[in-house]
Structure 1
């Protein structure tokens, strides 16, 4: 049945060879399976929405795919079926049966051109922090579930999935290294205790055996501490010009040096 529909589509659009086929509309045809579409090497736009498809195993060599509409099907898992489609910029997976959020974002993680993504009306949408998870793992997505991804959401996702780096960045903004996210340290802590805990933190490891600070954080911290520039110059307002030197009888004051430091 699907093969007949495909032939009907190619004839209707006037395609003479498989290499001419750039788009196929197979939506709302009650399809449960789709034949291998690898022969259409230049296929870029494919509509398979509102069918009964449960597996995506027919796009093995369609690397030029730009828009793929699989919404309204019976997909439970897409692992290993879409990750090679790195040219995709629009992907519709809404209204399916996808349950594993981590497996889904892992499959789509290599799609650096992906701009529009729909995952709503899937069970995975109920996962706590669903939207932040997708935004963090798929940073190229600009429109998620019909809503624009905002800068605030990106920052929240970064803080949620990078708490240690967030703490480092925030603490460096105040000229010191802290052990936790800004605002979480009790206010009544002496400076001596802080310096002691800082030295201990910088030279020891966590209980699980990992370094408390990553190498990148240490380099960033050291660079911040040493990135001081000092300029010394004359106060030229007090340097007399040659005409004043000849006209003045009293000796001139020794010019002062001005020193300025920049961090």
Structure 2
């Protein structure tokens, strides 16, 4: 019973702060509350805020909160300030707040990078996110991990997200997509058809070859008596295609890279080139 009483007293403290604010601003109805400032109030718990359906901005920074259990149906929240608390886990607490545009979580005690970032994946409007001064921010490739898994973020830890960082994140965490992308991007048609009797390697050195002359001469060439020679001649006139792809098989996955030391070398993908007709 003592625990229940303590919890109730902690929630009553935030309830009193809310009543004072509403009275000061002349607000009588809960539906008219769009902002609540409960920062720097030494709060350990916050009363359920579900009755404030139109709540848009909420300041809870500078308290002693270890978990967030007060935002069950506050779907309209656009800005949430939770910095300078004692939060150890936000799993299941914020994922439903899909209208958030700004989320401040710096200077807490969040340690689990994957579970924390999972809360942001449905927040397609989230533009500003702060996670610095948490233990999870010390993990290897932390910034690229967050950028890749929360693609809507434009400002992370007070630094603008660059296109190069997004590309690096995709190369690390979506290697299958990158392999497909690189295979398409590097595919190209070689200039001109091959010359009969000339190997592919020799073809690269014949820059003065005019494909129009070869095509024009074909109209006046007599038909070949031997069918095999005709097939060979036709095959030699096909376009040469060249594809280059990255071989990622020797590059360690994300989990493997995190287990390596900071000074351990990371292999780079090798380029494999294939040419065919």
**Do both proteins adopt the same fold according to a TM-score greater than 0.5, normalized to the shorter chain?**
yes
Distance change in 2, residues 1:42/1:186 (3 Å) = closer
Counterparts in 2 of 1:81-92, with a 5 A limit?
A: 81-92=93-104
- For 2:246 and 2:57, the matched residues in 1 are separated by 50
CA contact (8 A) 1:168 1:177 kept: no
Residue 247 (structure 2) aligned to one of 180, 183, 187 = 180
Which residue number corresponds to residue 143 of structure 2?
131
Which residue number corresponds to residue 52 of structure 1?
64
Residue 78 (structure 1) aligned to one of 85, 90, 93 = 90
1:171 Cα deviation from its structure 2 partner:
2.7
Structure 1 residue matching 2:45: 3-state secondary structure: coil
Which residue number corresponds to residue 39 of structure 2?
27
After the TM superposition, which segments of 4 or more aligned residues of structure 1 sit over 4 Å from their partners? none
- For 1:184 and 1:69, the matched residues in 2 are separated by 42
Q: Given the alignment of the two structures, is residue 142 of structure 1 paired with residue 154 of structure 2, yes or no?
A: yes
Q: 1:91-142: per-residue Cα shift (whole Å, max 9, x none)?
A: 0000000000000111111100100000000000011000000000000000
Structure 1 residue matching 2:36: 3-state secondary structure: strand
Structure 1 residue matching 2:119: 3-state secondary structure: helix
1:61 Cα deviation from its structure 2 partner:
1.1
Residue 151 (structure 1) aligned to one of 163, 179, 182 = 163
Q: Could you list the runs of 5+ residues in structure 2 that have no partner in the other structure?
A: 1-12, 188-242, 249-267
Structure 1 residue matching 2:125: 3-state secondary structure: coil
CA contact (8 A) 1:118 1:144 kept: yes
CA contact (8 A) 1:164 1:180 kept: no
Which residue number corresponds to residue 217 of structure 1?
none
Q: How many residues align?
A: 192
Distance change in 2, residues 1:186/1:14 (3 Å) = closer
Structure 2 residue matching 1:42: 3-state secondary structure: coil
- For 2:36 and 2:68, the matched residues in 1 are separated by 16
- For 1:145 and 1:186, the matched residues in 2 are separated by 35
Q: 1:5-37: per-residue Cα shift (whole Å, max 9, x none)?
A: 110111111212001000000100100010000
Q: Given the alignment of the two structures, is residue 63 of structure 1 paired with residue 75 of structure 2, yes or no?
A: yes
1:177 Cα deviation from its structure 2 partner:
5.6
Distance change in 2, residues 1:179/1:150 (3 Å) = closer
Q: Given the alignment of the two structures, is residue 97 of structure 1 paired with residue 106 of structure 2, yes or no?
A: no
Distance change in 2, residues 1:160/1:2 (3 Å) = same
Distance change in 2, residues 1:10/1:162 (3 Å) = same
TM-score, normalized by length of structure 1? 0.69
Q: Work out which structure has the larger RCO, using CA pairs closer than 8 Å and 6 or more positions apart in sequence.
A: 2
Which residue number corresponds to residue 112 of structure 1?
124
Q: 1:153-174: per-residue Cα shift (whole Å, max 9, x none)?
A: 1111111112232223223222
TM-score, normalized by length of structure 2? 0.65
Cα RMSD after superposing both structures: 2.2
